[in-house]
Amino acid sequence: MSKLTTLTFVAAMTVLPMSKTLAAESVSEIFAASTQSSELEIGYSDLDDFLGITVLDVGRSTREKAPRPSGNTGTRLKKRINRLTALEGNRIYFDNFDNEKYVEALYAIQESLEVLPNEVSLSQFNSNEQLAYWLNLYNFTLLKEIAKQYPKVDIGKEFSKEKKSDFFNDKVLMVEGQSLSLNDIKYDIVLNKYKGREEVIYGFFSGVIGAPSIQTNAFRGKDVWRQLEKSAGDFVNSNRGTYYEGRISALYERYSDFFGGSDDAIKDHLLSYLDDEVYSDIANTPADDLEMDIKDFSTATIGNDRVYAAGVSFNNAALIDSARVEQRGGQTISNFGVQNFVAEGMISKAKLNVRFTPDELELLQGINKQYQVTNGQVTIKDLQEKEMEEQKEEK
């Protein structure tokens, strides 16, 4: 088994050989078995390290809209943004996919997940441990497939037609002898194995702003439902999930099977997580009148012309439209300097006791270099008060 993923054996148990499955069995039936008494756990510290360096956590939504473009954008504004959702959702620095060593590390992690059941059958784990495994495998396989086709792949376009997309339907995985696609995991295995637990939809990263965010930590069996509930609360209480006048995400229509095809179930679900002023709007709208029209298929990345970000605050969703250049506390904020700040943030998250080799870690950090632009560069030093205090102490 690859060194990048380990199994922690909490209790000794006998691993029995898998029984042969009939060709007529569906994928969900093949992976239906579990051992609920099992205390086997899968370790994901390598996934945590990778996500900690890679994911930019923008925090919970403030329901703020992005400012309108100022008009002084020259040719940098390539396309329109969705002002309702542009400030929301965690981001991944997709330009890392141009770095060979970074991609090699991603491939190694994904492969270690894929082959793990060759060592111990998934049937020997309890259902919570299995769910964490499927979500982690899905998310890292999606990242691997984006990296494989980067920068040609338009993940927003592919996700907009997800159920008919070759990207999501191609058999790119082999798990316990079964060829699987990303859609097989989501719409066959997870949908059927966890019926009635609609929170599972918030565990799937789709590469776009308008869907649930990728998290900074891997899913774990013992914590998976708590992690999913937090992700659900973050999404539902954001402009990506709900808005005034009964508007909700178009994803709820796409994921209706997870709610038994019931609009009432979707409404009840939303009300169980809403904790802000939008609650009353949703509560007062009949279930069949909910407008499932909120969409944002923009890539959930940062650092190129397809994303309009200018300032970053890790504790409140403050991705600002790069069409705007402003003065804040005497500091110039513009799209040109955002890469420096993101790089500093990612490097500061890197831990010394990671499971990457020292040279791999150095490469992961090194790829977050200063972003060069032809018409100027502005360095952002938009550090939070706590970070500034820490710097003073170091001096």
Question: Which residue ranges make up each domain of the chain?
Answer: 49-240+296-394
Instruction: Give the model's pLDDT for residue 99.
Output: 85
Instruction: Give the model's pLDDT for residue 389.
Output: 52
Give, as one character, the DSSP assignment of residue 97: G
d(CA 253, CA 256): 5
* CA-closest candidate to residue 138, choices 188, 88, 199: 188
Q: What predicted TM-score, i.e. pTM, was given to this entire model?
A: 0.74
Residue 305's alpha-carbon distances to 33, 79, 299, 323, in angstroms, are 47, 9, 11, 10
Instruction: Give the model's pLDDT for residue 392.
Output: 55
Residue 101's alpha-carbon distances to 84, 111, 287, 362, in angstroms, are 36, 15, 49, 10
- Tell me how crowded residue 331 is: count the other CB atoms within 10 A of its CB: 14
* CA-closest candidate to residue 85, choices 238, 311, 207: 238
What H or E segment, with its residue span, contains residue 144? helix 127-149
Instruction: Give the model's pLDDT for residue 260.
Output: 97
d(CA 335, CA 320): 9
Q: Quote the distance between the C-alpha of residue 253 and its chain's center.
A: 20
> Are 73 and 336 contacting, i.e. CB atoms less than 8 angstroms apart?
no
Burial 288-297 (b: 16+ CB within 10 A, else e): eebebebbbb
Instruction: Give the model's pLDDT for residue 17.
Output: 44
d(CA 111, CA 93): 21
Instruction: Give the model's pLDDT for residue 102.
Output: 86
Token reading at 77: 């504004």
Instruction: Give the model's pLDDT for residue 85.
Output: 94
Instruction: Give the model's pLDDT for residue 201.
Output: 98
Instruction: Give the model's pLDDT for residue 347.
Output: 34
- In the chain, which residues have pLDDT < 50? 1-6, 8-23, 73-78, 304-388
d(CA 236, CA 305): 28
